[in-house]
Structure 1
Amino acid sequence: MYSARDQVENEEWLAEIEAAADRLDLSADARSYAVDMFLSSVPESDRSKGPAMAASLYAGALVASEGRSQTEVAEAAGVSRLSIQQRWKDVLESAGLQPPSW
């Protein structure tokens, strides 16, 4: 779980989630899932936060049944598709969810 301090310290990244979600036309549910997953496992390194944010956004869209391709999310978030591919399953697992087996 995360604290209010986590939200304040990562305000910039939460704004990035919202901006990318706007570009992807995601619902409030998908955004909420993405924020929760991101804040629950924020990496220490600033360099890793962008890919973690994008992976959380991709996973949030999946959980909300609003799946977007990794390429679409990567373009909206300004990261590589490979960054999402390498992280999204871990994001789901750390949230206590089982990633799909496809």
Structure 2
Amino acid sequence: MYRARDRVDNEEWVARLTRAADGLDLDTEARSNAVDLFLSNVPDEERSKPAVAAASLYAGALIAGEERSQGSVAAAMDVTRLSVQTRWKELLADSGFRPPEW
């Protein structure tokens, strides 16, 4: 869980997630999931934030049943597909979800 202050401190990243979700045509639930996942797992290092945000968007869409490809999410967030691929399962597990095994 995150504090309200975390949302304020990461307003730029929330805006980036929202813009990427617009580009991917994701609904409100997927967007909310992505923001919650990101804010609950914000890394300390600034350089890690783009990858965590992209993984959060991918995982948030999965949770909402709105699958998007890792490549399309990566492109929307301007990161590599590998950044999404290596982080999304751990992100889900750390947030209390059981990642799929496919």
TM range (shorter): over 0.9
RMSD after superposition: 0.4
Report runs of 4+ in structure 1 exceeding 4 Å deviation.
none
Report whether the alignment pairs 1:39 with 2:6. Answer: no
Determine the structure 2 residue equivalent to 1:28: 28
> In structure 2, the residue corresponding to 1:79 is in which secondary structure?
coil
Distance 2:87 2:23 in 1: 21
Distance 2:32 2:74 in 1: 19
**Where do 5+ consecutive residues of structure 2 fail to align?**
none
Determine the structure 1 residue equivalent to 2:7: 7
Distance 1:28 1:4 in 2: 19
Q: Quote how far apart the aligned CAs of 1:29 are.
A: 0.1
Distance 1:77 1:21 in 2: 9
Deviation track 1:7-62 (CA, whole Å, cap 9, x = no partner) reads 01000000000000000000000000000000001000110000000000000000
Q: Quote how far apart the aligned CAs of 1:95 are.
A: 1.2
TM-score (norm. length: structure 2): 0.99
> In structure 2, the residue corresponding to 1:98 is in which secondary structure?
coil
Q: Percent identity?
A: 60
TM-score (norm. length: structure 1): 0.99
* One-letter code aligned to 1:45: E
Q: Quote how far apart the aligned CAs of 1:100 are.
A: 0.3
